[in-house]
Chains A and B, each alone.
Chain A
Amino acid sequence: MSDNHGTDVSVAEHGDTPEFPLPPHHHRITDTDPKAAKRAERQVAAMFGLSALCTIGFVVAYVAIPTDTFIALGPIGIVQLSNLVLGLTFGLAILLIGLGAIQWAKKLMADEEIIGERHPLGSPKEDQDAALAEFQTGLAESGFVERKIVRRTLIGALALFPIPLIVVLKDMGPLPVDSLNHTIWRKGSRIVVDVTGKPLRPEDLAIGTLVSASPEDLDKIQELEGNQNARAKASIILVRMRPSDIKSQQSPEGQTWDYQGILAFSKICTHVGCPIALYQQRQHSLLCPCHQSTFDLADGGKVIFGPAARHMPQLPITIDSEGYLVAQSDFQEPVGPSFWERG
């Protein structure tokens, strides 16, 4: 094992002199001067002691400082006193233990240079042979080889055993099936302003207006029936631009999906599903704050920048007999990010 030329590790057999001699060792001041050692000892003890005080301080602060006390801390601003003190005491308590331990190791623990001996990692040949022989004996005595029916049933039982774990995955919920392809928008759904629930007439929107909107029926769906899912899929934005500014729409030949320059688009980014309402009305562009995907709403919701792969789905709209804005139908394609079955 002494053939180690060309590596930077010297392996020494027991009792050999090292191939590469060590540089001369200098003792630390704490090794030679008892006063310095005493001083270092006091430093370490002080750090540990302070840590203990901080821990006690944390408990006291937790109990004593009301959470509604705020103090002004110069440039940092107005800070909750309780958070400040709890953070400082807890942080210092653990920091001082660490600093003390390092100081202890550096200044006081034994400072001797030791040659660590390295042996071959493998077991000796005779141990290996003995272990193999023992295994063979066990194999023969168990009858694992001869008793084929025992062996096969055991293997079969072990193979089947994980099946229950797979079966209980069923409780993770039903498959989404078709629900990703549809939203609650349908022919005649009134478009209402999100939060306030106000139905909209075309004249309510000026050129450059942006409205975050949802279907009127959304409120009828209870929380347990999936209101949040329905909201997540059905959220739209309405924008109005000059009809002459509209370069293209997603409507097929012979259909009109806008209403006099009012366009409705899904609010859910087609990249990873962030809700978007960063509408820059001069360029008619919609910018996603998550990954900067940008959609040109004047040009069929086309992606003009960023990682989104598909255009923003457009909702066909019109007005009903009372003059309120309504959907012509559901979206003609799934909204939101791509998913496996979508292809």
Chain B
Amino acid sequence: MTSTSVRRHRATGLVVLLAALVATGVGYAAVTDSAQAAPPQASETQVQQGRQLFLEGCATCHGLAAQGTDSGPGLIGVGAASVDFQVTTGRMPLSAPAVQAPRKTPQYTPEQVTALAAYVASLGAGPAIPSDSDLSTTDANLAEGGELFRTNCAQCHNFAGKGGALSDGKYAPTLMNATPREMVEAMLTGPQNMPNFPNATLPLEKKQAIVKYITDNLQNAAAPGGLALGSYGPVTEGVFIWTAGIGALLLAAVWIGAKVR
């Protein structure tokens, strides 16, 4: 049998292709956190001011009396906490009809949010905006918070709190930028497709435990093993190993087979 004659490989094209594949890194958009003070108590003037803002900015979708229309749900009885969550995270007002309202820069000042919340709260009883003491996690049980998080939150928001996909283009958002107030408000009111977790089923101190777990354990979590690839699990890990890992193997194969001069 003839020995295999070593053919000269034109590896340049392959190398360029692989370099491009490997360079396809994942970029992370860091959104800055904006903590804010507790809104003061609502007064009659705030309700009036809120009503004015509502008619200007919200009534198109939610109806002139906040009764809801085909384009938006009714807001009677959703409570001040719901308004505070939706508007301070910039999810409302919606910039365009979409399956889900994304987090964006808030469109209203804190005073305007307070007024809007006061107006919607005046329409019907609902969850109030949590006070600073409601948000205190000093006495919260971190271990219990972890267990509750894994039982109630991790399914959608992912074990690392990085969020995850739902059906039809909807998603559970990442919790990395969420403030304790937003977390408690979201649990109380169930924004968009999230179910709600009222204090009757998940008491406030349990919510505080979950908040403590998220803020202390997840939001500043180190990645002991190195590149966490977004903590999304098999999708990003698979993409990485199929491009960077197999790419490296291909490069090695090209080098081993290359003609020696």
Given A106-B260, A209-B190, A277-B152 contact (CB < 8 Å): yes
A285, B195: Cα distance in complex, Å: 11
A10, B223: Cα distance in complex, Å: 58
Question: B3 near A114 (CB under 8 angstroms)?
Answer: yes
Q: Chain B: interface secondary structure?
A: loop
A113, B3: Cα distance in complex, Å: 6
Smallest Cβ-Cβ distance to A193: which chain B residue: B201
Given A102-B256, A205-B201, A28-B261 contact (CB < 8 Å): yes
Q: Which of B147, B195, B225 contacts A208 (CB 8 A)?
A: B195
Smallest Cβ-Cβ distance to A87: which chain B residue: B226
Question: B195 near A239 (CB under 8 angstroms)?
Answer: yes
Question: A204 near B223 (CB under 8 angstroms)?
Answer: no
Question: B226 near A289 (CB under 8 angstroms)?
Answer: no
Question: B260 near A287 (CB under 8 angstroms)?
Answer: no
Question: A280 near B155 (CB under 8 angstroms)?
Answer: no
A239, B28: Cα distance in complex, Å: 35
A10, B2: Cα distance in complex, Å: 7
With both chains docked as a complex, state the minimum distance between the C-beta of B73 and any C-beta of chain A, in angstroms: 9
Question: Quick one: CB contact mask for A194-226 with B, threshold 8 Å, 1 for yes?
Answer: 111010110111101111100000000000000
Within 8 A of B (CB), among A1-36: 9-11, 18, 20, 22-23, 28-30
Residues of B that sit less than 8 Å from A by CB: 1-3, 5, 28, 144, 147-148, 151-152, 155-156, 164, 166-167, 170, 172, 190, 192-198, 200-203, 206, 222-228, 255-256, 260-261
Residues of A that sit less than 8 Å from B by CB: 9-11, 18, 20, 22-23, 28-30, 70, 73, 75-80, 83-84, 87, 102, 106-107, 111, 113-118, 193-196, 198, 200-201, 203-206, 208-212, 239, 275-283, 285, 287, 289, 292, 294, 305
26 contacting pairs across A/B (C-beta < 8 A): A11-B1, A76-B223, A76-B227, A80-B225, A106-B256, A107-B260, A113-B5, A114-B3, A115-B1, A115-B2, A193-B201, A195-B144, A195-B147, A195-B151, A204-B201, A205-B200, A206-B196, A209-B195, A210-B197, A212-B151, A239-B195, A276-B155, A281-B190, A281-B193, A281-B194, A282-B192
